[in-house]
Structure 1
Amino acid sequence: MNPVVVTGAAVLTLAALLALVHVPLGTWIHRVFTDEDDWRVERVLYRVVGVDPRTEQRWTGYAVSVVAFAVVSVLALFLLVLLQGWLPWSQGRSMNWHTALNTAVSFVTNTNWQSYAGEAGAGYTVQTVGLGVQNFVSTATGLAVAIALVRGIARHSTDRIGNFWVDLVRGTTRVLLPMAAVAAVVLLAGGVVQNLTDPMAITTVTGGQQVVQGGMVASQEAIKELGTNGGGFFNANSAHPFENPNAWTNLFEVFLLLVIPFSLPYTFGLMVRSRRQGVVATATMAGLLVTSIGLTAWAEYSAAGGPLGSMEGKEQRFGVAWSAVFAASTTGTSTGAVNSMHDSFSALGGAVPLSNMMLGEVSPGGVGTGLYNLLVYVVLAVFIAGLMVGRTPELLGKTVGRREITYVALSVVVTPALVLVGTGLAVVLPVATAGLLNSGPHGLTEMMYAYTSASNNNGSAFAGLTADQPFLDLTLALCMFAGRFVTIVLVLALAGAFAAQRRRPVTAGTMPTDTPLFTVLLAGTVVVVAGLTFFPALALGPIAEALS
């Protein structure tokens, strides 16, 4: 069948499913975070941790709560991983200290980068009590920060942007838990395993021996995709038949990792009382994602020249089209799950997922992170447009002044600085390059992909890099933590700055930010900023490899 038809059908199927839930899910999330009543289980949780749900926080208090919760979570998960040998269902698995620290930071920051093989490094208790719990609360943290920023834009003349603990609990109990429960049941019906069975040695049809692993996979897989987490129960991740058995579970998993990020713009439109603002955000996200899917599919179909395209590193049950959809979707969000090996893609095919992360993962980005990163670019686009036409930059009645644009500028440069400095150090130090499978441009791409994935809290990897060694474990952990929480603090500062302003009336001189023209400007701003920042590095890596 024509590759264009196959890829187009895949995109249209996915778009139809996302469109079906866009309004109802976006409306529900809006109700969750604007409801004045608490559920009974939520009131119990508030009493246990000593939180008054009626008390809101300034941006500084909100930020301190987020970072403090993260630090405590890292320490708790680090100890749990180190001590797993004394826990039930450990399966005799263990990690050294630097891998355990990297893993703890990874799952707390919603990165889910894995320096270890899933079925070899973490027992069932760590997978469920440790990593599974963080899959929920790290996702809820990103969602809470996005809602706090939207509140800051929507409110005026106040220094309060909400209560982090209330947002964390509501996002978990009302959004993530019920959706993950339903998703787990669907995955179970599709053949994803869910058990506590010990590994079994079996005899294959050829007479060889193979160890078959079990585990609580369906429940982990559901929140892994729904929360744009990405850490696989098995080393092969969503290419493993126990995690992703067939074509329709593959479609369902791609749907899961996109459904909340693509519904949040509708929530944003409701909260700021301008649904057209939500349409602009949705259109920008969708345009970037569809473009990246098309480019990835084109590169992989062109690589081999035949009708099946390049099947190296891909599962036959998915083929090129659905491998391209998954690769673009997982790097367009902050998921990091893979159903094919990105290291085996063609030079240009691998460059597209790498570029998706370099865009700041706003196509559509992770749960919460995609929306607040896109809104940072909205503010930047407003500021640039204001300078070009000589108007005061305004967004929904709020002036984009020196303080606001300072927070935006710092937020935009944090991740590129981590990526470029980290990659630059790694490629000149023998202790780091010893982990590379390839040399030359492809080796540079492998290393750059790792630091881009960590700094953007994605978690996917070029499998040619052996990252389980002290230098890479520790520097990647630093990039994950800084990339997540330095950005979050700046976003919350921006929320506080907007909330404190008085709302300005709309006049004939106000630049509209809900038009097709602004949508193009916003998408262009995202692409140009990433291009100016990363093009020289890409030229030395995947582009040089493609031209060689």
Structure 2
Amino acid sequence: MSSHAISLLVVFLLILLLAVKPLGAFITAAMEPSGFLTVLAPFEQYLFRLLRIDARKEMHWQEYAYVLVLFNALAALWVYALQRWQADLPLNPQDLSAVSPDSSLNTAISFLTAACWQGYAGEITMSYLTQMLGLGFLNFVAPATGLCVAFVLFRGFARHETAFIGNFWVDMVRACTYVLLPLSVILAIFLVQQGAIQNFKPFVAIQTMDVTQYQTPKLDATGQPIKDANGQAVTESVSIRKQILPMGPAASLDATKVMGNNGGGFFNVNAAHPFENPTPLTNFAGMLAMFLIPAVLCFSFGRIVGDTRQGWAILFTMVFMFAGSALVAMYAEQAGNPLLSHLGLDQSGGNLEGKEMRFGSDGSALWAVITTASGTGGSNAMHDSFTPIGGFVCMWLMQVGEVVFGGVGVGLVGMLIFAIIAVFISGLMIGRTPEYLGKKIESYEMKMISISILITPLLVLVGTAISILLPDGKLGILNPGSHGFSEVLYAFSSAANNNGSAFAGLSANTPYYNTMLAVALWFGRFFSIVPYLAIAGALAKKHRLLPGEGTLPTHGALFIVLLIATVLIVGALTYFPALVLGPFAEHFALWPHGQWSQP
């Protein structure tokens, strides 16, 4: 492990932890108005009157869930329609045609669920209007929904003997206007200052200094390729000195991409594009933004339940799991490809296939770990070109439910669900009724937890099995053997857990994969969120128990170890047989003697 990699990780974590308390206090005050943010009360009251929202009327969990799902469904329908009609709408300087029905469906659901899975090339598929009013709109709706769910669960623990958990419309407005909007504007301005583009210009053709020559098939008068006597295509040499540069409002979309853990890039190559992520400094800022809100919500959780130690315990659980994953991935990428080392090729820079030289193997590997741990899914390198172990780490972080920070709100909620499982198991072992933060954990909560943690493995494993059996599924697999299997497994892991990153060797922009992954995206999102709300409603009704001699402390080192073990056992072993067939089999094929070379 190089000193540069360790320094990068240490500096990243140090800055992140320093931001937790002040920003956590800000987000708490924004979602549960208090302190200095009360000066915005007149503006908020005017906005609520304009939107006809009664901020004093709270909802029980069933009503909250109904309104949440309905609003999200209407938002997806709006973005679907925008894609289908974009050819007739303004801000389309390239005269792009309407997006196909299956791709429109997949994209609308993908961005709605914060996965932002993209089976298309953004700059040649989506108009500027679609990018802004469609995808940009969902870049606020999706993380704001996660933020609403998180604070509902916080209230479930903090309140007692009440059926009400908040008002969805109030929570949504505050999440968008007080939290996501100001942070995204600040980041967008920084990105523009660093060189990211933000305009409405049509594509620009420039003359290059060097001549580019390539061979292209020669066509006849009807446009068909000409073939020689042996049936081989006849080619002709073409020389050009022109390059087309895409334009558009990229910086604003990129800011919401990382700040809201969305991941959808304005350009096809996402954060590897210099117009989106121009410098190592923007790369570092993007990584920090992906973890920022998920990390600070831990502090918000502790403050709302009245014990900040609880929040710090959850945060350090995430930090330890993330740090271990990052070290493994960076080590694997620095070690490089053993097959190339066997040929005597210099790999002192690590595995650089599919990576941007301005970020190197360290910056690319750390970004990959952060983007799959946070639920963002944006990429600055080709995950398909990672070493088997590097790719495994990314896949595994999604498969545990994206609870190692995870997406905005829902990542922390997922970790709290594992915390409830941990206290439930420990309670059974000592013969005591399990309780967490003064609330008894009973059969109803465990039933809802079972639904929430089983839905994603079901979608991933069944979807993968069907896809490697059906002809339409096998047609998209471009690589044979274990790596091809890993591509399909990664795709469904990404979709069901609402991440959106991909092993891009899979041709997923087909009616089959667009439909199958859309199903995984939708059910993976809302079949988890609705049980979360049900748990919050059940907890809010309970009376609070005072801690006794047999109460398990949930803020110390012992609980952190227990929580990590619970995540590893419950969240990871589900996928072990599938992982053996994919990345592990590929790894051992590259290392016949099981030895890793020193990077």
User: TM tier, shorter chain?
Assistant: over 0.9
User: Which of 97, 107, 114 is equivalent to 2:101?
Assistant: 97
Cα-to-partner distance string for 1:366-416 (whole Å, 9 max, x where unaligned): 110111111111101110111122222100110011111111111111111
Return the letter of the residue paired with 1:197. Answer: K
Equivalent position of 1:76 in the other structure: 78
User: Unmatched 5+ residue regions in structure 1?
Assistant: none
1:138 positional shift: 1.2
Distance in 1 (alpha carbons) for counterparts of 2:466 and 2:209: 48
Q: C-alpha displacement at 1:336, in angstroms?
A: 0.5
Cα deviation for residue 41 of structure 1 reads 4.3
Secondary structure in structure 2 of the residue aligned to 1:63 = helix
Distance in 1, Cα, partners of 2:353 & 2:274: 17
Q: Does 1:166 align with 2:164?
A: no
Distance (Å, rounded) in 2 between the aligned partners of 1:11 and 1:390: 42
* 1:408 paired to 2:411: no
Q: Contact 1:159/1:500 (CA < 8 Å) preserved in 2?
A: yes
Match of 2:526 in 1: 485
Q: Does 1:43 align with 2:84?
A: no
Q: CA deviation at 1:505?
A: 1.3
CA distances 1:43-72 after superposition (whole Å, capped 9, x unpaired) = 344334432111110000110011000111
Cα shift at 1:33: 1.9
Please tell me whether the aligned partners of residues 391 and 511 of structure 1 are also in contact (alpha carbons under 8 angstroms): no
Superposition map of 1:96-115 within 5 A: 96-115=100-119
Specify the SS of the correspondent of 1:206: strand
Residue 200 of structure 2: which of 181, 187, 196 is its match? 196
Q: Secondary structure at the match of 2:243?
A: strand
Using the alignment, how far apart are the partners of 1:337 and 1:381 within structure 2?
Answer: 31
Of 120, 124, 127, 2:124 maps to 120
Q: Distance in 2 between matches of 1:348 and 1:489?
A: 34
Q: Secondary structure at the match of 2:275?
A: coil
Q: CA RMSD in A?
A: 1.2
Separation in structure 2 between the aligned mates of residue 64 and residue 46 of structure 1, nearest angstrom: 20
Aligned partner of 1:179 in structure 2 is 183
Amino acid at match of 2:91: W
Q: What's the counterpart of residue 216 of structure 1?
A: 249
Aligned length: 546
SS at match of 1:152: helix
Confirm or deny that 1:225 pairs with 2:253.
no
Partner of 2:327: 294
2:517 partner letter? L
Residues 133-192 of structure 1 show CA distances to partners (whole Å, capped at 9, x for unaligned) of 110121111001000011001111000111111010001110111111111111111111
Q: For residue 253 of structure 1, give the secondary structure of its aligned residue in structure 2.
A: helix
- Which residue of structure 1 lines up, in the alignment, with residue 306 of structure 2? 273
Amino acid at match of 1:530: G
1:141 equivalent in structure 2: 145
Q: Which has the larger radius of gyration?
A: 2
Corresponding position of 2:29? 31
Indicate yes or no: 2:472 matched with 1:474. Answer: no
Contact 1:258 1:364 in 2 (8 A): yes
In the aligned structure 2, how far is the partner of 1:331 from the partner of 1:371?
15
Q: Compute the TM-score of the two structures, normalised by the length of structure 2.
A: 0.90
1:442, CA displacement in angstroms? Answer: 0.5
Q: Give the drift of 1:231.
A: 0.1
CA distance in 2, matches of 1:254, 1:505: 41
Residues in 2 aligned to 1:188 and 1:340: alpha-carbon distance in whole angstroms: 21
Task: Tell me which amino acid in the other structure corresponds to 1:399.
Answer: K
Q: 1:188 touches 1:218 (CA, 8 Å); kept in 2?
A: yes
- Structure 1: distance between partners of 2:133 and 2:369: 30
Q: Is 2:410 the partner of 1:375?
A: no
Tell me, what secondary structure is at the counterpart of 1:180?
helix
Instruction: Give yes or no for the alignment of 1:309 onto 2:350.
Output: yes
C-alpha distance in 2 between matches for 1:483 and 1:398? 27
Matched, 1:62 2:64: yes
Query: Which residue identity is paired with 1:375?
Result: L
- Equivalent residue number for residue 562 of structure 2: 521
Q: Secondary structure at the match of 1:18?
A: helix
Q: 1:487: Cα distance to partner?
A: 0.4
Q: CA deviation at 1:298?
A: 1.1
Q: Deviations over 1:465-503 (max 9, x none)?
A: 111111110110111111111100000000011001011
> For 1:204, what is the secondary structure of its paired residue?
strand
Q: Secondary structure at the match of 2:129?
A: helix
Aligned counterpart for 1:284 among listed residues 302, 306, 317: 317
Letter in 2 for 1:92: D
| Unpaired runs of at least 5, structure 2 | 212-240, 342-346, 590-599
Q: Distance in 2 between matches of 1:331 and 1:35?
A: 32
Q: How does 1:531-546 map to 2 (within 5 A)?
A: 531-546=572-587
Q: Which residue of 2 aligns with 1:333?
A: 374
Shift of 1:203: 2.1
CA distance in 1, matches of 2:250, 2:528: 32
Q: Aligned partner of 2:312: which letter?
A: V
Q: Secondary structure at the match of 2:355?
A: coil
SS in 1 for 2:165: coil
In the TM superposition, residue 4 of structure 1 has moved relative to its aligned partner by 2.9
Q: Residues 258-298 of structure 1, C-alpha deviation per residue, up to 9 Å, x if partnerless?
A: 11111110000000011110111101111111111111111
Q: Which residue of 1 is the match for residue 431 of structure 2?
A: 390
TM-score (norm 1): 0.98
Shift of 1:109: 1.0
- Give, as a single letter, the amino acid of the residue that structure 1 aligns with 2:248: G
Q: Is the 8 A contact 1:113 1:231 kept in 2?
A: yes
Partner amino acid, structure 1, of 2:14: A
Instruction: Write out aligned runs for 1:378-457 (5 A).
Output: 378-457=419-498
Shift of 1:40: 4.1
Q: Equivalents in 2 of 1:44, 1:101: separation in Å?
A: 36
1:6 to 4, 7, 14: 4
Shift of 1:225: 0.4
Identity %: 44
Matched, 1:251 2:251: no
